[in-house]
Structure formats: C-alpha cells, structure tokens
Chains A and B, each alone.
Chain A
Amino acid sequence: MPTISIYHKDFEQLVGREVTIEDIETWLSLVKGELKDHTPATGEIRVELQDSNRPDLWGIEGIARQIRMALSDAMPSSYAFFSSRARPKRRVMVSAGMEQVRPFLAAACASGYAVTADGLTQLIQAQEKLADIFGRKRSTISIGLYRLEAIQFPVTYGLVQPHAASFVPLGFEEKLTLQDILSVHPKGMEYGHILEGQESLPLLWDKEGQVLSFPPIINSRDVGQVQVGDSQLLIEVTGTDLRMVILALNIFAVNLADRGATIDPVEVLYPYATEFGKTIRMPFDFSSPQRVPLHAIESALGLPLGTDVIKQALTAYGYEVKASRHQLSVRLPPYRNDLLHAVDVAEDVAISRGYESFAPEMPVQFTVGSLSPLEETSDLIRDYMVGCGFQEMFSNILMAREDLVDRMKLTDPNEGHVVEVDNVMSQHYSCLRSWIIPSLLQIESASNRAFYPHRLFEVGEVAIPDLSQELGSQTLVRLGALVANPAANFSEVHTYLDLLLYYFVRPYTLEPMQHHSFMPGRVGKILSQERTLGFIGELHPEVLEAWQISMPVAVFELDVGELTREG
C-alpha cells in the first residue's frame, strides 16, 4: 500500500500545534501508518499506509485530520459545503454515450487558498496515489486539477473522434490530436490501453471550446497545470465507479478545505440515470446511517463498553453517532466509504480507544494439538535418514524446466510433465518440481568441493500434473535420497532403502523399469502390495554430465503418503 511523504512544518500547521517526531510515530497507529524514514534536514517524513480501503489517509491532510479529531476528542469538522442547498452556479454537462466509455464525472471548485509549495506537493502526491492505487492505474478513477480562471462554464464531458480534436498536452509545446497523444505522448502510451477498442474518446472542454483534458490520459498545458500561488482551482474526477469517483472528489474537497479553501460545488448533469439521480451536486455526501447493535461491538471487542463510551470513541474518530440503549446509528464522514459490516465499526472503536487499553485475556478452551499423519511419517523418515548418516537438505521448489526435464533426459513427450507458471518472471523459477532428485542434483552440482562422501536427502513437497484431479495437479510429499562418492552404486542406496522399508514394515519388490534419467538395467520401481512406492537407480552418465557432476550418483525416491497410516 502507498508510502507517502509528509513534511514536519506542514504537518504542524495542519494539526495546529507543535509536534515531535515521537508524537507522530505514536499517532500513526490511529491511521495504520508506519514511519519508514525521517530526514530532519528537510523535515521529510516517509509514511507507509496499510489500509487499502482508506484512501482519505493517503495524504498529509487526512492523517492530520484523524489526529486532530483524536486530540480534540470532539465532533469532526462539519464541512458545510456538503449540506448547502443553494444551486451551484457552475455546471458540467455529461454527453450521451459516455456510459459506454467512462460513465462518471465529479467536479468541484476551490477558492481563497493560494496554493503553497507544500500544498502543491501534497495535491500532486494525492492525485498520483489515488489514481494509481485506489483507481488501479487510472482505470477506475483518474483526477485532473485546473486553473479555474481560464475556464468558461458550462464544461462538457463528451466524446470526440480521435482525429477530430487537438490541444497542447502537458509536457509538449505543440498541439496534438487525441490519436497522436495516444501514440506519442508518454502518458498516452502508458494509459492508452484503458481506452482500447473505443471508437470515440472522452474529452473535457469548456463553453469556448477550449480543451481542459483528455481523461484519463493527460491535461491541457494551458489550463491544466496548477502552480504555486494559484488560488482558484477546479478539481475533476472521472471513472467507471460512481461511488469511487465521488469519494475521490470528496477527499480532495476536504483536504483543500482543511488548508483554508472555500469549496464551491459544481452541478453535474447526466443524460442517463445514476445511483444518485441525473443531476448530482458535487461534492456529494452519499454516506447513510447504519444501524449497529451494541452487542455486535461489545462481543467483538470482548468488553461491555456501553453506548456512551462507544459513541465517544467513534465521534473522536470522525463518525456521526446516534445512540440508544442497545443500538447505535452510525454514519461515516463523507470522505470515507469503508463501512461494510459492524466489525468495521468495532475496529474503529478499538483504534480510537487505543489497542493498549484492551487487557489481553488468554483463550481457555481446551484443544488437542497434533501433527498431520503425513507430517508424522515425514518426521520418522527424517530421523531414520539422519541416523543413516544423511545430511538433510531444504530447497526451493520453484525451478527451471531445464533442471526438471532437459537435464534429466526426460524430453520424450510422455515424460517430464511439470506444473508450469503462465506469467513467468524468470526461466529459473518457472515450474514446480515434480520430483525431489533434481533438487538434490542441483546441490550435488554446486558442491563438488564439499568433503566426501555425500549422502543427501530431502523430504518435501512436489506437484504432479494430473488432469483427473480437481486442481489439475496433486501435491505429494516425497523422500529423495542421494549418495555420491567414487564407489557410489545401486547396492549402496538399496541398503538404505531396504532397511527403511523393513522398519516401516513394507515388504517390497523391485521391478526393472525404463527411466531415461537412469542407466539402463540399473533402475527399478519399488512395489509393495501392488502399489508403486517410488523408484531407485544409478543416474545416467549423460544426466551427470548435464549437471556437470563428476562423481557417480545413486538415488531413490519414495512417496511419503504411501508409507503413511490412513489417518
């Protein structure tokens, strides 16, 4: 989740008092934030925010707001512009057809606050983080900021042909058509895929026909570049999810209001129906009161706090609360939209009161601990192998196809089936191992200088492709054992296998088999009670050559599940 920069002085101004870095570190628990870095020289503090459902906290204003409320223990700021009844004088008209492309838009104006350098940094940071993470790289929401003076209302949000409109985008000196922007502008190349397959493209223009921006790609250089000192702004959000679009606008509106701006609402007129009607006055408070039974909170927290305490805690956390004896009616502030269930309210109560105020209590109900039968068998086998002088190894199980198949001489189409990754990052880690022996050979190959003899084993998981299984593969636990020394041979590993199966009371026979990884005539299937337990053999010199191993190697591999008692 996002890591953002906040600045100490700016933070003090927003909180309204002097604060130390230790204060900030303590308060960050209120916002699920973690202090990552602090540079006293510049006052920069890097903070990581954990909660992916609280984009209001992904900026200094939101963090400061949450702390301010906790400090004053008071009702949150009311942000009167949400409730004013006057019809806004500025309007944005949404054209028909937008519902097929990028249906929603929210906008508001801010005035009376001359943007400071710190303020501008935070505006840009919030714009980036919200569009990138909350808006999933601009696909669900994107945000534009404009100099209000240069714009003549009403503004139109409509569709145009890719070649029919042109304007000077940010970062360029000359006019480009929308088509050109998509093919040459860095942002067009980065985000153009969002509009893929659209015959006409979204555009925002004013009464004079002046282009504001080409959402969600790029703003106009002329009106869409806010600078320090600007005191009249237009904020606009477009996207595919109306609630997310409005929430992002609300967050910008309260952030600017916290810095002293007056928010002037904008009326957005849709030609089609939306969840909140065809005409929406933005910013728009869509939160509705939720009824939460008192016991839901008390039983989740394990403490009979009572409605008064809970009401106080929630109020200090930004909620609007009405309480009766057994019931609470809670309403989130308009910059939040993360109340899915009563448990969300319970957590906010706990955070507001501080986790340290809850006395830990040991769960007392009696339970019986145990290992799975598979794990118990694995442990018995591991003990046995260690007793026989084998060094246990532990390998990564994501491997290269080359190691599992090619180097093992299993290139015949009927052999060498492995579970493969589709979105490969590196060929070295593109398949799940289907047997243990390649892992042990990888070690042998890297350890020719290690003191001999080498006796290695691993008990570990493998994935066997099997289309008859629900998941297309089966996860098995296998024992792989390897001996390497100048005289290593079938008989040596057979000794260990024979004794192991004796102790597990598994009478067995070896049946010659064909396996290209092994020397012909020196490999066999391990059979017991008509089931195949595994195989044993001397590795083929070609396999050893492929691994650049210059010692004879003999191995066996056993299915641990087959040796496990039915649970």
Chain B
Amino acid sequence: MNTASLYDSLHPLEVQVLAALSQSGEARSDDALAQTCQLDLSQISMAVGWLSAKALLCVESETRTVTVVLTEIGETYAMDGAPLEWIVDSIKSATQSATPISVKDLQTNERFQPTEISRAIGVLKKELAIRLVAGGYLELTGVSSPTLQSLKRLLHQLRATTQDLQEFQEFEQQILRQFSVKRGNTHEPFRFEEHIERRYALTDEGKTVGGLCQSSPIEEVSQLTPEMLKDGSWRDKRFRKYTINLSPPRVASGRRHPYRAFLDLVKRRLVGMGFQEMRGPLVETEFWDMDALFMPQFHPARDIHDVYFVKNPSHADHIPEPFLSHVSEAHEHGGSTGSTGWGYQYDRDRARRLVLRSQGTAVSARTLASNPDVPGKYFSIARCFRYDQVDATHATDFFQVEGIVLGNDIHFRTLLGLLTLFAKEMAQARESRFLPAYFPFTEPSVELHVRHPQLGWMELGGAGLLRPEVTNPLGVTVPVIAWGLGLDRMAMVALGVHDIRDLFSSDLEKVRNMRGTF
C-alpha cells in the first residue's frame, strides 16, 4: 500500500497519535501521548495497536517499574498496628500487670490469625527482642526489633502514597519483599505492582505518514452532516474510509411471503398464457362442489369422512334453476346429455347441503354456469379443505391451482398440447409423459408427469375433457378441458421446506429466513 492510501485509510485516532509523535520528534509513552492528544488511555492503546499492526510505529524502549502499595491487610496494620507491634505491647502490659503471658495466650486473640502470631514471634525471637522463660511465658529483652521499627515506618509511609520499590533502601526492600503478597499467600500488608512503560517511536514509513498527518490541515470526520453541505465546510474535511467488509446490523424488512410469491409467479404465468382468474366462495353447496361435476351422491369420496360439513345453516336456501333440474336429470338418466346417467334417485335436499369447498373445480363449475367466454381460458388458485389428519403432507387447508379451457378446437390432442405447455411454463420441463387417469368429471382423463430439472420425474397435474354430463346441464355446448396442477412439492423443494404445514408457518423467524428461487 502506498503512503497516500495508507494515510487515507487511517482512523482519526491514528492520525492524532501519528501527528503527536511526529511533532515531538522523539519517543513518547502512552501516558505522554494521552496527555498530548487529550485522549483516554484506552483510545491511545487502540490507536497504538492499529499503528503497530501497520508497522508505522514501534516500541523504542520498555521500562519495567515496580511500585509498592498497601493491601487491605496493610491498611489495618497501619491503622491498628501490625502483629509484631501488638505482641510487644501485649507482653509489655502483661509484665506490668504481673500476669505472665504464653505463646498460647497470644494465639487465642481475635485480631490475628495464629500463623501471623507465630511468624511475628519468630521474627522477634530471632532479633532477640523477646525470649521464652520458664512456664512457657514470654518476656521482653529490652532490645528493639529493627524489623518492627522499619515495618511501622513503611506502613505509615505507604498509607499516604505508593512508591517505587527502587526508591527504598536495601534493607527496606527486604522487609517489603518479606511482607508482600505472594503466590499462595495473599494475607500480607504489601503488594508489588509491576508496570511496563513503553515508549513509542515512528518507523521510517511512520515518519513519512506522520509528516502528512502533521502537515494536513484537514479535519477528519466520520459522518457527513446537513450543516457541512449547507455551509460547504465538507470541503475542508476529510472523511474517514470505512472497513467495508464488516457485517451490517440486522433490519426487519418488508417482504412478500415466499409461498405467496411462488403462487404470484404461477398466477403471472397463467395470465401470460391467456387465462382469466375466477373466484368462488369458501363455503359451497354439495351441488357446485360435487353434483355439478357429475360425482354421484353415492360416490365413495363424498362420505362424512372426506368432506367438512357446515353446522349452521346446514343447507343453502336453494339451488338456481335450470341447473338443479338439468344436473339432477343427468345424474338420474342422463337427461339430454346423451348419457345413461348413474341410474339412481337424485336427492335435491342433499344438493343444498353446505360444505367447505373440497376441490377447486367447484369454482370452474360456477364459471361454466355463468355464460363463460368461448373461446375462453380460466384459472383459480382456490383454498380447499379435506377431512384429513394434519401431518407433514396434509395441511388443514391448502391451495389448488385449477381451471378450464373452452373452445371449438378442444379435443384430446389439444388437451395434451396444453399440458405440454404447462410442463414447460410451470416446471421448465422439456420432457413430459401422459398416463391414463380417472376423475369423475372428465373423460378421457390424463395424468401429467414431467421431468423437472431438479426433481426428476414427478406428477405435475391431472386433466381431462369435461364429460358432457358436466358441461351440458350448465349450458355449455363446446368441448371443455378441465385441469389441475399440483405445485406444492415444487414450492417446498425451492423453499427448502419438508413439511407442508411450514408453508403456512406461524413462526415469524422461520418465514423471514425462508427463501428460494423458483
């Protein structure tokens, strides 16, 4: 990196430190720098760290100083006397009151621990200040203890101020060492604190960059403000360059639901292929949901265990004519549809029974009965309900994408043509396969299997030509394709979802994290 760009990348703290060093021309300590730059030590330490890493600055000298401070124990010794002093005083007052005192007596006190007492007695005996006499009693010899004297003075002195170890005389240093906190023994009056003072100097490159810092009259700022723009003062400022590859803070964004976005795409594609959207009610009559689709009322899939029935009201007011009569005739004997019909007694009350829409084709049935366009293409993305146990592959309610195509050119081969188009548009599949299928309302019926670029062979949907028993009673005389697509698996794979319930998840975090390309 060249000098100029190195300079550009400097943080304002770095610039200040470099300028200070450059100006003084000699090595400076942290403390000195803090004073010169009027910054906190922590800021200096950050800047020094960054500058060392950039090799603009180096440590010129390192001075190790040890200072002595009083510990909490030291504070009490200074105030109330150290054990040495206390022992001498105790023996003195015992002698005066003619009640000799033993080592054991001394050890049973409340101020000091027995070990402190033993150690103090050891020092006093060694310095011949006390002696042991018959009966295990102690008495003063009259000799004064140099340790006691020095300790007393040092405690007093250090209570006021801390001091460098080096500033003490040799014998004082010995005493300080003897009574200082050490590993394994913290119950001491003194503590040594080691302090390393480093002095920093500029490297050669640092001198060059430092020169720039010193000479640069431009103030460095991090944020452009409206005031700067107003008064043009931004021209005199330098804007710090950012470290741009840090993670940004998180934001709660607005976003379409990913599954809904998938269905939007489906919707767009269908409109692009010339389909009009249809809509229908969530609550349907059995008539539109099933009868109009030529599912006989005795059909096994019309059981109480297949469809949700509505409680109240349980039946619709009426079914519009002439549809009811025409459908009823088609079921019973075919009516004018050219069919033999199912040959049973059609129950008109049952036709009024209200259910939760069980198939999207109900929407198509209503469209057929409302004078649809010919030629015409229609689709719906309809919420449907099935009486199923909810599990990883069954949701309480789900979407069916389905529709119809009406026209004079509709026949089995144009049905296959439409499905080929769906394969390409909906699954980007170039290969497709048609298998015979069964739906109560279509004949012939087809299952569409496609080779999806990622999923391999999969069933994409079902379709067929609506039976005349469906179209004629609803007033439609042209052939009609009915189709339905199963797209949820594609959506689930694209979104990395393995449980269909997750498409309707109540977990906000899960929805925010869900993503995929369709």
In the complex, what distance in Å separates the CA atom of A419 from the CA atom of B312? 7
Residues 339-384 of B contacting A (Cβ, < 8 Å): 339-343, 354, 356, 373, 375-377, 383
Nearest chain A residue, comparing its CB with the CB of B407: A365
In the complex, what residues of A have CB within 8 A of residue B341's CB? 340
In the complex, what residues of A have CB within 8 A of residue B446's CB? 355
Q: Tell me whether B272 and A363 are in contact (CB under 8 A).
A: no
B482 → chain A closest CB, angstroms: 13
In the complex, what distance in Å separates the CA atom of A93 from the CA atom of B512? 73
Q: Tell me whether A51 and B504 are in contact (CB under 8 A).
A: no
Nearest chain A residue, comparing its CB with the CB of B343: A243
A43 → chain B closest CB, angstroms: 24
Q: Tell me whether B465 and A343 are in contact (CB under 8 A).
A: yes
Interface presence of A504 (CB below 8 A): no
In the complex, what distance in Å separates the CA atom of A368 from the CA atom of B376? 8
In the complex, what distance in Å separates the CA atom of A467 from the CA atom of B312? 10
Nearest chain B residue, comparing its CB with the CB of A446: B506
A84 → chain B closest CB, angstroms: 28
Q: Tell me whether A392 and B260 are in contact (CB under 8 A).
A: yes
Given A396-B397, A470-B317, A473-B283, do A389 and B340 touch, yes or no (CB 8 Å)? no
Q: Tell me whether A463 and B282 are in contact (CB under 8 A).
A: yes
Interface presence of B385 (CB below 8 A): yes
Chain A 469-507 per-residue mask, 1 if CB under 8 angstroms from chain B, else 0: 011111100000000000000000000000000000000
Interface presence of A325 (CB below 8 A): no
Interface presence of B7 (CB below 8 A): no
Nearest chain B residue, comparing its CB with the CB of A445: B506
In the complex, what distance in Å separates the CA atom of A163 from the CA atom of B338? 51
Interface presence of B487 (CB below 8 A): no
In the complex, what residues of B have CB within 8 A of residue A475's CB? 280-283
Nearest chain A residue, comparing its CB with the CB of B285: A471
Given A302-B412, A443-B506, do A32 and B283 touch, yes or no (CB 8 Å)? no
Given A341-B339, A385-B254, A472-B354, do A360 and B416 touch, yes or no (CB 8 Å)? yes
In the complex, what residues of A have CB within 8 A of residue B373's CB? 367
Give the residue of B282, B339, B343, B414 whose beta carbon is less than 8 angstroms from that of A362. B414
Interface presence of A229 (CB below 8 A): no
Most chain B Cβ neighbours within 10 Å, of A301, A372, A423, A456:
A423
Q: Tell me whether A351 and B436 are in contact (CB under 8 A).
A: yes
B275 → chain A closest CB, angstroms: 5
Chain B 320-347 per-residue mask, 1 if CB under 8 angstroms from chain A, else 0: 0000000000000010011111110000
Q: Tell me whether A425 and B389 are in contact (CB under 8 A).
A: yes
In the complex, what distance in Å separates the CA atom of A52 from the CA atom of B278? 30
Q: Tell me whether B275 and A369 are in contact (CB under 8 A).
A: yes
In the complex, what distance in Å separates the CA atom of A299 from the CA atom of B478? 11
Q: Tell me whether A419 and B310 are in contact (CB under 8 A).
A: yes
In the complex, what residues of B have CB within 8 A of residue A444's CB? 508
In the complex, what distance in Å separates the CA atom of A351 from the CA atom of B445? 10
Q: Tell me whether B383 and A461 are in contact (CB under 8 A).
A: yes
A134 → chain B closest CB, angstroms: 9
In the complex, what residues of A have CB within 8 A of residue B356's CB? 398, 421, 432
In the complex, what residues of A have CB within 8 A of residue B339's CB? 340-341
B438 → chain A closest CB, angstroms: 4
In the complex, what residues of B have CB within 8 A of residue A474's CB? 281
The tally of residues in A whose CB lies under 8 Å from a CB in B reads 95
Q: Tell me whether A347 and B508 are in contact (CB under 8 A).
A: no
Q: Tell me whether A369 and B376 are in contact (CB under 8 A).
A: no
A27 → chain B closest CB, angstroms: 12
In the complex, what distance in Å separates the CA atom of A395 from the CA atom of B257? 10
In the complex, what distance in Å separates the CA atom of A361 from the CA atom of B278? 26
Interface presence of B410 (CB below 8 A): yes
Given A356-B434, A470-B318, A472-B283, do A371 and B271 touch, yes or no (CB 8 Å)? yes
Given A361-B414, A391-B512, do A368 and B465 touch, yes or no (CB 8 Å)? no
Nearest chain B residue, comparing its CB with the CB of A457: B254
In the complex, what residues of A have CB within 8 A of residue B275's CB? 367, 369
Q: Tell me whether B387 and A423 are in contact (CB under 8 A).
A: yes
Q: Tell me whether A471 and B281 are in contact (CB under 8 A).
A: yes
Given A51-B438, A347-B443, A446-B506, do A362 and B421 touch, yes or no (CB 8 Å)? yes
Given A392-B256, A396-B396, do A446 and B282 touch, yes or no (CB 8 Å)? no
In the complex, what residues of A have CB within 8 A of residue B385's CB? 398
Given A340-B334, A389-B252, A471-B354, do A350 and B412 touch, yes or no (CB 8 Å)? yes
Q: Tell me whether B260 and A340 are in contact (CB under 8 A).
A: no
Interface presence of B468 (CB below 8 A): yes
In the complex, what distance in Å separates the CA atom of A396 from the CA atom of B259? 13
Nearest chain B residue, comparing its CB with the CB of A298: B411
Interface presence of B395 (CB below 8 A): yes
A299 → chain B closest CB, angstroms: 6
In the complex, what distance in Å separates the CA atom of A379 from the CA atom of B268? 12
Q: Tell me whether A341 and B504 are in contact (CB under 8 A).
A: no
Interface presence of A44 (CB below 8 A): no
Q: Tell me whether B254 and A389 are in contact (CB under 8 A).
A: yes
In the complex, what distance in Å separates the CA atom of A132 from the CA atom of B468? 30
Give the residue of A379, A422, A471 whose beta carbon is less than 8 angstroms from that of B309. A422
Interface presence of A382 (CB below 8 A): yes
Interface presence of A358 (CB below 8 A): yes
Given A347-B443, A367-B376, do A372 and B277 touch, yes or no (CB 8 Å)? yes
Q: Tell me whether B300 and A32 are in contact (CB under 8 A).
A: no
B345 → chain A closest CB, angstroms: 12
Residues 376-420 of B contacting A (Cβ, < 8 Å): 376-377, 383, 385, 387, 389-390, 395-397, 405, 407-414, 416-420
A51 → chain B closest CB, angstroms: 4
A529 → chain B closest CB, angstroms: 24
Nearest chain B residue, comparing its CB with the CB of A459: B260
Interface presence of A150 (CB below 8 A): no
In the complex, what distance in Å separates the CA atom of A350 from the CA atom of B442? 14
Interface presence of B493 (CB below 8 A): no
In the complex, what residues of B have CB within 8 A of residue A358's CB? 412-413, 416
Interface presence of B299 (CB below 8 A): yes
Interface presence of B170 (CB below 8 A): no
Given A346-B443, A453-B252, do A360 and B310 touch, yes or no (CB 8 Å)? no
Q: Tell me whether B508 and A471 are in contact (CB under 8 A).
A: no
In the complex, what distance in Å separates the CA atom of A361 from the CA atom of B252? 49
Q: Tell me whether B434 and A355 are in contact (CB under 8 A).
A: yes
Interface presence of A411 (CB below 8 A): no
B442 → chain A closest CB, angstroms: 9
Interface presence of B511 (CB below 8 A): yes
Residues 346-397 of A contacting B (Cβ, < 8 Å): 346-347, 350-351, 355-356, 358-372, 374-375, 379, 382, 385-397
Apart from A396-B395, A428-B396, A472-B312, 20 more pairs, CB < 8 Å = A299-B411, A340-B340, A340-B469, A341-B339, A346-B412, A358-B413, A365-B409, A369-B272, A369-B276, A370-B271, A372-B276, A394-B503, A425-B387, A425-B389, A450-B507, A451-B250, A471-B283, A471-B284, A471-B285, A472-B283
> What are 9 of the A-B contact pairs (CB < 8 Å)?
A299-B479, A340-B341, A340-B342, A358-B413, A371-B267, A392-B257, A394-B504, A450-B512, A472-B283
Instruction: List chain B positions with a Cβ less than 8 A from chain A.
Output: 250, 252-257, 259-260, 264, 267, 270-285, 298-300, 304, 308-314, 316-318, 334, 337-343, 354, 356, 373, 375-377, 383, 385, 387, 389-390, 395-397, 405, 407-414, 416-421, 433-438, 440, 443-446, 465, 467-469, 479, 503-504, 506-509, 511-512
6 closest A-B pairs (Cβ-Cβ)?
A: A302-B411, A447-B508, A365-B375, A347-B444, A360-B416, A369-B271
